[in-house]
């Protein structure tokens, strides 16, 4: 049976917030964390992956606070610290002791922060273009980050701004569907989001330098990058490859910031193979 947005939708109360998520499948938990772009949500980032992943795992696509259908709240303190605590509390609300994680961009940084602060809650990590890294060759801020910062800046959000941002996310422009543009634009102009944008030049939250603590992340990790990423360029991958103890790197050619979207079928196989790889004679 084909999974739908409606059939998989759930809500849970997490301390003072109501968190929305999608759930499908059974088995070892796998939490997928979306990026920070306007209109982002668990479903918008991972709708091309949830069917395949849920055949092997209890797959959860979470909407972070401030995104999707979750409560709209201002970020307090460091960006990765704030969201990682929210995900930890989300796990507690579901009675989930431990999970594998897939994170894209902001989501990958959140997964790393979870592994740093609560290592016992994290199984294996799949990181796509994580924030908080250190580029070797490329300049900062990137083209994509500039568009991200400017989206809610005066004169405010627009369909043209959203389209320009999403087109930077991918290498192949034909991958950008009108349905995706419409969905993300409508989510981005929710009055509660516009009143407290989760990202932008006006947001005071700091983005921590996670790269400094990478040697402490001992979890088995798969790093995935698009060679043509214009948001977090792939030279940021080298710092993870150099400093993380148990890491492997896969780079997709003709691929932007959304490897899970542009190369969904191959990405799904890659991730499933990695997450089910025996470790000391056991399969997680």
Region of residue 102 (left: phi > 0; alpha: psi -120 to 50; beta: else): beta
Non-local CB neighbours of 180 within 8 Å, separated by 6+ positions:
44, 166
Non-local CB neighbours of 201 within 8 Å, separated by 6+ positions:
149, 150, 153
**DSSP assigned state of 282:** B
> What's the Cα-to-Cα distance from 201 to each of 67, 145, 151, 284, rounded to whole Å?
18, 10, 9, 41
Residue with tokens 């991200």: 148
Specify the pairing of strand 247-252 against strand 221-226: parallel
Question: Would you name the residues annotated as active-site residues?
Answer: 257
Specify the pairing of strand 58-62 against strand 17-24: antiparallel
């Amino acid at each position: 049976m084909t999974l739908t947005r409606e059939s998989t939708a759930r809500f849970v109360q997490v301390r003072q917030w109501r968190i929305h998520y999608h759930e499908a499948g059974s088995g070892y938990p796998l939490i997928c964390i979306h990026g920070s772009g306007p209109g982002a949500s668990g479903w918008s980032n991972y709708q091309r992956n949830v069917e395949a992943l849920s055949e092997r795992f209890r797959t959860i696509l979470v909407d972070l606070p401030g995104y999707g259908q979750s409560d709209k709240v201002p970020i307090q303190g460091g960006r990765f610290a704030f969201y990682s605590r929210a995900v930890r509390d989300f796990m507690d609300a579901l009675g989930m002791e431990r999970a594998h994680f897939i994170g894209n961009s902001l989501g990958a940084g959140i997964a790393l922060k979870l592994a740093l602060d609560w290592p016992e809650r994290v199984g294996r990590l799949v990181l796509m273009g994580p924030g908080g890294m250190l580029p070797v060759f490329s300049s900062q801020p990137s083209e994509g980050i500039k568009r991200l910062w400017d989206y809610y800046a005066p004169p405010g959000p627009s369909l043209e701004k959203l389209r320009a941002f999403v087109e930077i996310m991918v290498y192949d422009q034909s991958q950008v569907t009108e349905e995706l543009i419409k969905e993300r634009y409508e989510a981005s102009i929710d009055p509660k989001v516009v009143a407290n944008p989760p990202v932008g030049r006006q947001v005071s939250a700091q983005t921590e330098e996670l790269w400094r603590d990478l040697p402490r992340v001992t979890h088995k990790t798969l790093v995935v990058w698009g060679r043509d990423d214009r948001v977090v360029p792939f030279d940021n991958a080298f710092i993870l490859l150099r400093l993380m103890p148990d890491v492997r790197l896969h780079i997709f050619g003709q691929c932007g910031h959304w490897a899970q979207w542009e190369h969904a079928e191959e990405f799904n196989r890659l991730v499933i193979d990695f997450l089910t790889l025996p470790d000391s004679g056991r399969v997680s």
